[in-house]
Structure 1
Amino acid sequence: MTKKTLSLGPIPDALASELRALTVNAATGSVDNGDRLEIEGSFTGETIGWVGRGTEEDVDEAFRRARIAQKRWAKVDPKKRGKILLAFHDILLKNQKMMMDIIQLETGKSRDSAYEEVIHCAITARYYGNQTHKILKDKHRAGVMPVFTKTTERHLPKGVIGQISPWNYPLTLALSDAMPALAAGNALVAKPDSSTPFSALYAFKLLFEAGMPRDIVQLVTGPGRVVGNSIAEQCDHLMFTGSTETGKKLGEIAGRRLIGYSAELGGKNPMIVTGDADVDKIMPTVLTGCFSNSGQLCVSIERIYVHKDRYDDFVPKFAQATKDLKLGAGFDWNIQMGSLIGASQISTVEKMVDDAVDKGATLVAGGKARPDLGPYFYEPTVFTDVPDEADLKRGEVFGPVVYVEKVDSHDEAVEKANDTDYGLNSAVFGPSKTATGIAEQLFSGTVNINDGYAAAFASVDNEMGGTRESGQGRRQGAYGLLKYTESQNVTDERVLPIRGPEFLKPRAYAAVMTVLLRAGKTFKILK
């Protein structure tokens, strides 16, 4: 790849050099076979490099290597595995500028949205770096016969984890699921999205620099129908983040093979603004919850229910604040919203906006593409009065489009928020006491109070994931690591067999056990 001058200015020399290096080493699981995928930069639509187009044979070879390496890796002390993640934490922060440059060049997102990925990844590395050996520590459980029975819960790595990650958060969603899988003693075969492979390639390069054994991670770039399906057919547990439609297809493969499956899928995430909310105070955070990453975020807010006491104040201020957002291409920290990922995404947004307008919705902000800024820019857009028959009402946009609806009560807001096929994320804005009471009634995997999504997402000691068609399983927290293990019950029966001594006849044994069971209940001997 040669250095190119793009409309946003020349690519910095260091960035151009890194992309060339990643291009040469893109076929990480196999030798480049000459069949390539060209990678487009979202800011300009121009080619920034290429990666190999992986095949089923490449995936086969990746699993062969991974299974050999995993047997050695499983024997490494969990504390030592955690120290590699702590080293990665430091290396990532040291190289954060390059990491953000690559993320932005591939995705077109703003600088602060790129930094959001870096900081979440670092927090996750620190958490599992410090907690892995504690989470995996053998745990003594209550035996059936106190003193006589010793029982221990252990956790064994599943083997080789398959991971299919998306384009919208190419660092966070490639590494934050991979790190606990590796820390648990597994190997990894991963497919980064074909639109944004360089972010994952660079991040894993830093992980190798931190000490991760090379063959433990196998990256295979290429189309989902070939590489992704082949991974699903061979892995011991599958982690997928993406659309509900694709998630269901992969779930069928996992179900047929009887392997573990974790999936974070789509969402139509609601926000509730309470009748006693301070509209001026909450407005900056409301904007972030809706338009961060240009709305291309599984947990992004797409519908807002505002109590009638605040509706007339909220709508004009929200519309104006949306219009005031600074859009642009480049690495400037002052740009508040970047580009959409590509032609397919902007087409989806345009169709849903046009459909809403045609069916009578009121457009109060945005509503048009901005080709003057770049090929895939679209204004942050706000609607009111969206009719039930509009696609926007219930369908996921995955772009910078939000509608606002007036409600007469908090109970009505809760009812409308829960009236969806999804259940990924929700948000409530208002005084803590009021908002907490509402939050407890919402049926979604995460609920943020006075934040759109980031507070829950960044709380890595707590699990997060979806309900209903937003997915299954959870990421983060202890469960985010333990899901990549098999729980093992090791029980040592000491002194006497559980069926009683040989000299005790069955009837006598039953009588003795009945007495012991009653005593155990009375004195709470067993938990």
Structure 2
Amino acid sequence: MAEEKAGSGFYADIVDGDVYKYFAHGEWKSSSSGRSVNIINPCTRTVVYRVQGCTQDEVDGVFESATIAQKRWAKTPLWKRAELLHKAAHILREHKEPIVDCLVTEVAKARKDSITEVLRSADFVSYCAEEGVRLLAEGKFLVGDSFPGNDRTKLCMASKVPLGVVLCIPPFNTPSTLLSPRSPRPDRWQCRRAQAPHSGRGGRAAHGAVLPGGGVPKGLISAVTGKGSDIGTSSPCTPLSTASASQAATRALPSAAGGHDSTTDELGGKDACIVLGGR
């Protein structure tokens, strides 16, 4: 059996020549900017391939598309959402090689460790699907006399609702592992997700094909690439941002903290996880 590569098989539409496309509105596209970003192999210091240099308008369009797609996704039964996530995890395991190749060339990670990272990512997706069924099936029942001035005849039922659009900016060192547990969470919660790879990495773009391949609605999940200076300065309808120590994250965090519901910055390893409150 021939080894699968980007540009063939499941990833047939992801590459145009030596330039990775970006994923938006349910299809792979080339940026209207006509620009691309070079991806450098840290070992050889040579260009291994290029990714699209998306524009701010294209990124804004991704958020608009996600908002529309969420209405359909919110009506999808919980068991069906979990089923689609399990399918995505299966796809990630079956078509891991192109993502593994990207980790080897982009991060200079050993191939064995790269394979482990991708397979662990698939396990995270399956885990989130199972936990989502359990957590979202539960609600709360409150009695009125828990609060002063009310009696027990007043009752309240509470359940979880989606927060909104989620922006994921994965880090350089473990992009697949750290992106995977965050991608299914908003999806199981009926949220919409936009993925902005660190400096426009091809491996993250390939990763963006997995969940759509699982059958989620078009526009619900997108993967955009480009320089942080071009697309990291504005995310107008992103109430929650999961970010890392990347150029895009560095530019996005100040605006996110001031205008978003919450911003999570994970520093890696055993370091602290900082949550900045929003509005």
What's the TM-score bracket when you normalise by the shorter of the two chains? 0.7 to 0.9
Distance 1:22 1:60 in 2: 21
- Determine the structure 1 residue equivalent to 2:110: 110
Q: In the alignment, is residue 96 of structure 1 matched against residue 96 of structure 2?
A: yes
Aligned pairs for 1:115-514 within 5 A: 115-145=115-145, 148-194=153-199, 197-231=201-235, 233-242=236-245, 250-265=252-267, 298-299=268-269, 425=270, 466-467=271-272, 470-472=273-275
Letter in 2 for 1:253: S
Residue in structure 1 matching 2:15, options 18, 23, 27: 23
Specify whether residues 228 and 175 from structure 1 end up closer, same or farther in structure 2 by C-alpha distance, changes over 3 A only: farther
Identical-pair percentage:
22
Tell whether the 8 Å contact from 2:39 to 2:49 is kept in structure 1 after alignment: yes
C-alpha separation in 2, matches of 1:14 and 1:87: 19
Q: How has the CA–CA distance of structure 1 residues 45 and 15 changed in structure 2, closer, same or farther, with 3 Å as cutoff?
A: farther
Quote the RMSD (CA, aligned, Å): 2.7
- Cα deviation code 1:140-180 (max 9, x no counterpart): 33312475232222111122111222221121223321111
Q: Which runs of 5+ in 2 are unaligned?
A: 146-150
Deviations 1:392-428 (A, max 9, x none): xxxxxxxxxxxxxxxxxxxxxxxxxxxxxxxxx1xxx
Q: Distance in 1 between the 2:3 and 2:43 partners? A: 18
Q: TM-score w.r.t. structure 1 length?
A: 0.46
C-alpha change, 1:160 and 1:202, in structure 2 (3 Å) is same
- Structure 2 counterpart SS, 1:15: coil
After superposition, the Cα gap between the structure-2 partners of 1:234 and 1:173, relative to the gap in structure 1 and judged at 3 Å, is: same
SS in 2 for 1:215: coil
1:175, 1:200 within 8 Å by CA — same for their partners in 2? no
**Does the aligned pair in 2 maintain the 1:171–1:203 contact within 8 Å?**
yes
Q: Which one scores higher on RCO, CA 8 angstroms, separation ≥ 6?
A: 2
| CA gap 1:223/1:100 in 2 versus in 1, 3 angstroms | same
Structure 1 CA distance for aligned equivalents of residues 43 and 13 of structure 2:
21
Query: Which amino acid counterpart does residue 217 of structure 1 have in structure 2?
Result: I
Which position in structure 2 is the counterpart of 1:40? Answer: 40
How many residues align structurally? 261
Report the CA distance shift for 1:68/1:263 in structure 2 as closer, same or farther (over 3 A).
same
Instruction: Decide whether the 8 Å contact of 1:173 with 1:241 is kept in 2.
Output: no
Contact 1:23–1:49 (CA<8 Å) still a contact in 2? no
The one-letter code sitting in structure 2 at the alignment partner of 1:255 is A
Distance 1:248 1:208, change over 3 A: closer
One-letter code aligned to 1:125 = V
Q: TM-score, normalised on structure 2?
A: 0.82
Task: Compute the displacement of 1:21 (Å).
Answer: 4.2
Structure 1 Cα separation of the partners of residues 49 and 101 of structure 2: 14
Q: Is the 8 A contact 1:54 1:221 kept in 2?
A: yes
Q: Which amino acid in 2 is paired with 1:129?
A: A
| Paired residue type of 2:238 | C
Pair member with larger Rg:
1
By how many angstroms is 1:74 displaced?
1.4
